[in-house]
């Protein structure tokens, strides 16, 4: 197994170096590369990513779906692991993924916990153990074999938001592939909750999630989400 870690970014100077470092810190021979796909950052995200040891690509389209597809198109690994820039993986992530693959899993994610001790965020984190409709969002990261990713056509670039949920939905609906939630927690930034109230973020997530399942146009969902939250 060779793993390509792919990270879509836009103005993530505060988090990208640490994100890349936690991946490379594993020093695992199965890690083929770390690819950071930039969406036209106006800060020093690119320089910091390169300094941290990542290969950097620049996407002409600034959406996570397009950026992650671009990363996958040049990746050399036979498994893709998509993570967000404000995420820190755990040291055992390679072994954890390999173990799931040996069980017959084709794609999956991790649980997560926030870098905050607030009680409500601990409750949020607790719910990431379930493999239900809410599983597989970007904060949980996503691993998937190259073969399955290609057979599904990658991320649907029509989805300018919720692209991760849309892909996981297709994985599960196919009836051919096993999707699992690894019972270990990666670390996710609580910055969104620090800039908005817990209730405000929860309501924004709920509204957008429900509208997604009602097949409302992704661009309208993205616009709504930005209006509901500060610096979302």
The pLDDT value given to residue 231: 63
Whether the Cβ atoms of residue 188 and residue 195 lie closer than 8 Å to each other: no
Q: Is the pLDDT of residue 133 over 90?
A: no
pLDDT tens-digit series, residues 89-114 = 999 999 999 999 999 999 999 999 99
Query: Largest alpha-carbon pair distance within the chain?
Result: 44
User: What are the residue ranges spanned by the domains of the chain?
Assistant: 3-189, 196-232
* Cα separation, 73 vs 121, whole angstroms: 35
Residue 71 confidence class, pLDDT cut points 50, 70, 90: very high
Give 140-176 pLDDT, tens digit per residue: 999 999 999 999 999 999 999 999 999 999 999 999 9
- Beta strand pairing call for 107-114 and 142-145: antiparallel
CATH 3.40.50.10470 fits domain 3-189:
no
Would you give the distance in Å from CA 136 to the centre of its chain?
Answer: 8
Predicted TM-score (pTM) of this structure: 0.96
Q: Give pLDDT, residue 80.
A: 99
Report strand pairing: 87-88 vs 179-188.
antiparallel
Query: How many CB atoms within 10 Å of residue 125?
Result: 17
Stretch 25-44: mean pLDDT: 97
What confidence score (pLDDT) does residue 86 get? 96
């Amino acid at each position: 197994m060779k793993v390509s870690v792919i990270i879509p970014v836009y103005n993530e100077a505060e988090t990208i170096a640490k994100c890349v470092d936690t991946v490379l810190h594993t020093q695992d021979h199965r890690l083929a590369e770390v690819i950071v796909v930039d969406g036209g950052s106006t800060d020093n995200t690119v320089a910091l990513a390169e300094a941290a040891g990542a290969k950097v690509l620049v996407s002409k389209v600034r959406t996570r779906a397009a950026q992650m597809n671009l990363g996958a198109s040049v990746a050399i690994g036979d498994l893709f692991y998509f993570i967000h820039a404000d995420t820190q993986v755990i040291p055992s992530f390679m072994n954890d993924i390999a173990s799931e693959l040996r069980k017959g899993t084709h794609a999956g994610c991790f649980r997560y916990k926030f870098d905050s001790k607030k009680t409500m965020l601990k409750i949020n984190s607790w719910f990431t153990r379930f493999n239900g409709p809410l599983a597989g969002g970007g904060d949980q990261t996503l691993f998937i074999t190259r073969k399955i990713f290609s057979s599904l056509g990658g991320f649907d670039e029509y989805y300018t938001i919720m692209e991760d949920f849309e892909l996981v939905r297709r994985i599960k609906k196919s009836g051919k592939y096993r999707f699992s939630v690894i019972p270990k927690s990666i670390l996710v930034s609580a910055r969104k909750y620090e800039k908005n109230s817990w209730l405000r973020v929860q309501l924004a997530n709920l509204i957008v999630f429900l509208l997604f399942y009602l097949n409302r146009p992704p661009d309208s969902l993205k616009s709504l989400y930005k209006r509901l939250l500060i610096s979302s």
